[in-house]
Amino acid sequence: MQLPPIMDRAEFDRVEDHIEIDLEDGYYDTTPIEDEVEYFVMKAIFSTNPTLSPNDYIVSAIYSDNARLAFFQPGDTTWTYIDKERFILIYDVIYYKGQIFAVDHWSQIIMVDLNKRVGESKAPQVKVIAPRNEVAFERTYLVESSSGDLLFVQRFIGCDDDNDCQHTTSKFKVFKLLLEQLEEGWPKQVELKSLGGDSLFLEDNHSICVSASKWPGCQPNSIYYSDDYIDIQFHPPSRHCDIDIFNVENGSFGTHYTLDPSHKHMPPSIWIVPTMLGN
């Protein structure tokens, strides 16, 4: 599948920068390479399987070092950009019930209404459905529950003084967005104290929700999470990895995988979702 370039070289803010890192302390030289412009995409999602619908899909992407949002449809010659100056530091994007939803660093949630086009440019209507929080979060996620609700998750990450001030998850908050109230103003966010038997698997690459009863060994009402922090400028690969399970009902933590010491230098892990036979 051939897609047009998502950004030109003039947009790449860091091409001329040079950050020197002390290699002796386990850090890396992060001098930007011009060819990296072509790969500066943090996340891309499809609205549907493009192999089954080659002419009827949407691909949404979080791109650039400012984490902006854009999408592409078959027949277009360029990407459609979502207000480059207004919406930045996007942390997650999801295609939900025919629309694109995204959440940023401050828990602001936007909806890109693909059914409403504005002006001569025919740009989609963008609506803020949750205002910015005064607190900036290290990670925020959007995920669809097994019953079809849109969930918004805040991940609280603190500094672990016992481990050289490494970033460590301290808790999560999960909210259900009542989108049926969208026309009345801000949709209500209901904080959940239970996931109703579901389990969330969160990461910056791909977040999913499953019914724990259908997956043997999966703990219900729990959040499985991996280490999303990949900024090696401040966090060398020799650090500990923030990989655990969080129980939404009682706030306790558990372990789902013990990292082998030889894996310390590997990139962040990703979830692999097997096909369940018979379902």
Residue 192 counted as domain residue: no
Residue 227 has a pLDDT of: 79
Q: Is 107 a domain residue?
A: yes
Q: Which of 15-29, 47-61, 258-272 has the lowest mean pLDDT?
A: 15-29
Find the mean pLDDT for residues 237-241.
Answer: 57
Distance in angstroms (rounded) separating the CA atoms of residues 153 and 141:
5
With respect to residue 243, please indicate whether it lies within any of the assigned structural domains. Answer: no
Q: What is the reported pLDDT for 152?
A: 95
- pLDDT, mean of residues 219-224: 95
Q: Higher pLDDT residue, 93 or 38?
A: 93
Q: How far apart are CA 108 and CA 136, in angstroms?
A: 10
The DSSP call for residue 235 is S
Q: Has residue 23 got a pLDDT over 50?
A: no
In a domain, 68, yes or no: yes
Q: Which residues pair with 96 in a beta bridge?
A: 99
DSSP-based helix, strand, coil % in the chain, nearest 5: 10, 35, 55
The pLDDT of 88-105, averaged and rounded, is 94
pLDDT at 246 over 90: yes
Chain position carrying tokens 């966090």: 235
Judged against a pLDDT cut of 80, whether residue 120 lies above it is answered with no
Least confident piece of the model among 19-28, 38-47, 88-97, 105-114: 19-28
The answer as to whether 54 is a domain residue is yes
What are the tens digits of pLDDT across the range 148-190? 999 999 999 876 655 555 678 899 999 999 988 666 667 889 9
Range of the domain at 33: 9-136
| Least confident window among 39-53, 206-220, 225-239, 265-279 | 225-239
Query: Residue 127: inside a domain, yes or no?
Result: yes
Q: Which of 135, 112, 141 is nearest to 225 (CA)?
A: 141
Q: For the chain, how many structural domains are there in total?
A: 1
Express as a percent the part of the chain with pLDDT over 70.
73
Q: What is the pLDDT of residues 39-89, one digit of tens each?
A: 578 889 999 988 898 888 999 999 987 899 999 998 888 899 998 888 999
Average confidence (pLDDT) over 7-30? 48
Q: Could you tell me the pTM of the whole model?
A: 0.82
In a domain, 122, yes or no: yes
The pLDDT value recorded for residue 273 is 78
Q: CA 197 to CA 222: how far, in whole Å?
A: 8
